[in-house]
Amino acid sequence: MSIADTPTGPAAATAPTHWTELASPLGPLLLTADPATGALTSLSVPGQKGGRTVRPGWRRDPALFRAAEEQLAAYFAGELTEFRLALGAEGSEFREKVWAALDSVPYGATTTYGEIAARIGASRAAVRAVGGAIGANPLLVLRPCHRVIGADGSLTGYAGGLDRKVRLLTLEGALRASA
């Protein structure tokens, strides 16, 4: 269930990945960061397609994640609508364009794969590639891939599971809570 974990960032060659685990309404969150910059490199949930798992040699460092812990708690309490954290996930130029477009989708709103493709100047034929880039987002919740839905309004796939997508969209008010 985990992808090959490769270090990223300038300190990757010498410093181990730093990590912590936080409790959340979605289950335990595994966060990783570049120890040199403190930038978050991933946020994974149990059972996530392509999610990370703790590897030998990684260093547990809860203090490095204090700001993320506070902001995630405020988000899940309905008190925070925009994260202000350094994100350091790296991908291809195309993926990074898609991820930047995700960052511009506001709290409580949804968008479609086609709209994301249009935002980055990609052709209509690139919608499938956009979906692949969204599915490869290593920073669930923080980079709001849960806000992307199908053109017909359907709740399409989510690497963290559709039940978690529903919970996040309900929290943000984009979906009504079911009775």
What's the whole-model pTM score? 0.87
134-178 pLDDT, tens digit each: 999 999 999 999 999 999 999 988 999 999 999 999 999 999 876
Whether 145 is catalytic is: yes
- Distance CA(61)–CA(83), nearest Å, equals 21
If you classify domain 18-77 with CATH, what class do you get? alpha beta
Residue 7 tokens read as 């270090």
Quick one: how far is CA 165 from the chain centroid? 12
Query: What are the sequence ranges of the domains in the chain?
Result: 18-77, 93-172
Q: What is the pLDDT of residue 97?
A: 97
CB 83 within 8 A of CB 75: yes
Distance, in Å, from the CA atom of 137 to the CA atom of 152, rounded to the nearest integer, reads: 22
pLDDT (0 to 100) of residue 148: 97
On whether the 93-172 domain is CATH 1.10.10.10, my answer is yes
**pLDDT per residue over 20-77, tens digit each?**
999 999 999 999 999 999 999 999 999 998 899 999 999 999 999 999 999 999 999 9
Catalytic entry in 117, 145, 159, 171: 145
- Model pLDDT, residue 176: 84
Burial class (CB in 10 A: 0-12, 13-18, 19+), 7: middle
Sequence-ordered strand ranges (E) for the chain: 18-22, 29-33, 40-44, 59-60, 111-112, 148-149
